[in-house]
Amino acid sequence: MRHPGSRTGIIGWGTYIPVYRIKAKEIARQWGFDDRITDSIWIEEKAVASADEDTVTMGWYAARSALVRAGVDPSRVGAVFVGTESKPYAVKPSSTIIADALGISTRKLSTDLEFACRAGSEGIRIAVSLVESGTIEYGLAIGSDTAQANPGDVLELTASSGAAAYLVGPANESVAFFEYLVTYVTDTPDFWRRDGSRYPTHGEGFTGEPAYFHHIVSAVNMLMSESGLKPSDFDYAVFHQPNGKFPLQVGRMLGFPKEKVLPGIVTPWIGNTYNASALLGLAKILENSKPGQRILVAPFGSGAGADAISVLVTEKVLEKVGRAPTVEELLSRKKYISYAEYAKFRSLIYRNLG
C-alpha cells in the first residue's frame, strides 16, 4: 500500500544561522550558575540574532537558498508556511512578507503556524499533502525563530536564533523523497508562553520524560510499526535538539547508535533554534549524504507533538549542495559577543526611546 506523501519530496533546502555567538559559560557566569551545567546538557555556545534580524529576515534568507538550490521559479510556488513562535507581529503574517520578498505568486496559500518547535515540520506535512493532492505544484515550509528565554532561566543557555526552509514538490524531481510521515500529538503542558507574557515558562523535568521523550519515541515507534522499518535500516537519525544531550539520549532509547545521531547534531554550537532545530540538522545531513541513504527526522514541539519522517536521498542531491551556503559554512562563520552585547541585540535592556 502506498503511504500518503510518498509521491512527494524535498526539491531544495536552505538554512540561516546568525553570525554572532555567545559562550554558554558566559551566560552561566552572568547568573551565578555552576559552570558544569553547560556540560551536563552539552551546550558550548549559541547563535544570537543581531538587532536588525528577526524571524522574517532569517526565514527569507533560508527560503531564498532553498529556491536557489531547487532551481524553481518562485512563481510556481503555491503555498508558503512559516512555523515560528517568535513572529515579529502578533497579528500580521510573517509568511506574506517573506513570500512577497521572494517574488512568489499572489495566487498562493500563505500563513504562519504555531506549535512551539514543530510548527515548521507541520508546514512540511501540509505542503506534502497539498502537493500530493495536486492542489499546488510546489510548497515552501519555513521554520524560523529568535527564541526568547527569561534572563537567568536555564533556558537562556540554549534559546537561540536560526532558520531552515524546505521546498516540497514532486518526488521525481526531489533530492530526497518522503517515504513515511506520521505525527503523534497530545495535550501536554510542558512549555508555554501566555498571551502578553514576554518569556516562556517551562516545567523543568516535565519537559523531558512525559514530553520530549514520550512524544518522539511514540512518533518514531508509530513510523516503524507502519513502515516495517527498523533503526538498522536508517543511515542517520535527526531529532529535535533542545540541547546536545537529549537527541543522543532519545536515539539510545530508540536503538540508534551514536554514530547515526551525532552527524545531525548542531545545537551544542548554535543553541536551540526552535522551529529550525531538527530541520537544520536534516540540512546538515543532506549536505553530506550519498544517494540511496535513508534519514529519519523527528522534530518535537512542546504542547506537545512529534513527527517522524523517513526520507530517501536521491542522486539529485549531489549537484545542489554547492548552490547555497551549507550548514557547515554557516556554523564556521562566527563572531563572539559579550553578555552585554547579547542583551542589547535581544532587547533585554529596558530603555526609554524618544
Partner 1 sequence: MMVKTYVIGSGVTRIDRHYDKNYLALVDEAVSRALAASGLDVSDIEYLVVSTAFSETMLNQADPSTYIAQNLGFRNLKTLTVSSGEVSGAVALDYAHALIKAGKARKVLVVGFEKMSEYPSWVTNKAYTKILEYEVEGIKNVTPPDYAALIMSEYMRRYGVSREDVVKWSIKMHENAVKTPHAQLQFTISADSLGRALRISEPITMLDSHPVSDGAAALLVTDESATKKTGREPVEVVDVESSVNLPVYLRDDITYFSATAAAYKKLSTKNEIKLSKTTAVSVYDTYDIYGLLIIEALEICEIGKATKCLDELPFLNVSGGLKARGHPVGATPLYQVHELCELLSGASWAKYDGDVALAQVMSGPDNNAWLILLKRWA
The answer to whether residue 85 is catalytic is yes
In the bound state with partner 1, the residue whose beta carbon lies nearer, of 138 and 300, is 300
Residues 37-56 that bind partner 1 (CB under 8 A): 37, 39-40
Kindly determine how many residues on this chain lie close enough to bind partner 1 according to the rule CB under 8 A: 12
> In the complex, what is the shortest distance from the CB of residue 178 to partner 1, in angstroms, rounded to a whole number?
34
Q: Which helix (H) or strand (E) holds 66?
A: helix 55-70
Say whether residue 29 binds partner 1 (CB under 8 A). Answer: no
Catalytic residue among 117, 173, 214, 287: 117
Q: Where are the beta strands (DSSP E) in 8-62?
A: 8-16, 20-23, 45-48
Cell 552561566 locates to 28
Give the list of residues 6+ apart from residue 175 with CB closer than 8 angstroms, or none. Answer: 9, 10, 11, 12, 13, 69, 286, 313, 314, 316, 317, 320
| 204 is a site residue for partner 1 (CB under 8 A) | yes
- Reading the block at residue 259, the C-alpha cell is 554514530
The interface region with partner 1, picked from 15-23, 33-41, 233-241, 324-332 by CB under 8 A, is: 33-41
Contact 275, 120 (CB under 8 A): yes
287 catalytically annotated:
no
CA 289 to chain centroid: 19
Nearer to partner 1 by C-beta: 61 or 213? 213
CB of 262 to partner 1, least distance (A): 20
Write down the least CB distance from residue 202 to partner 1, Å.
Answer: 8
**CB of residue 204 to partner 1, shortest distance in Å:** 5
Closer CB to partner 1, 40 or 338, in the complex = 40
Active site includes 202? no
Work out whether 206 is an interface residue with partner 1 (CB under 8 A).
Answer: yes
With beta carbons less than 8 A apart as the criterion, state whether 108 and 99 touch: yes
Region from 58-66, 72-80, 201-209, 335-343 binding partner 1, contact rule CB under 8 A = 201-209
As a whole number of angstroms, the distance between CA 122 and CA 135 comes to 17
C-alpha span between 322 and 108 (Å, rounded) = 29
Q: Helices 245-254 and 214-227 sit at what angle, rounded to 10 degrees?
A: 40
Catalytic residue among 45, 85, 173, 287: 85
Q: Which is nearer to partner 1, 32 or 228 (CB)?
A: 32
Length of the chain: 354
Active site residues: 85, 117, 240
Contact residues toward partner 1 (CB under 8 A) are 34, 36-37, 39-40, 202-206, 209-210
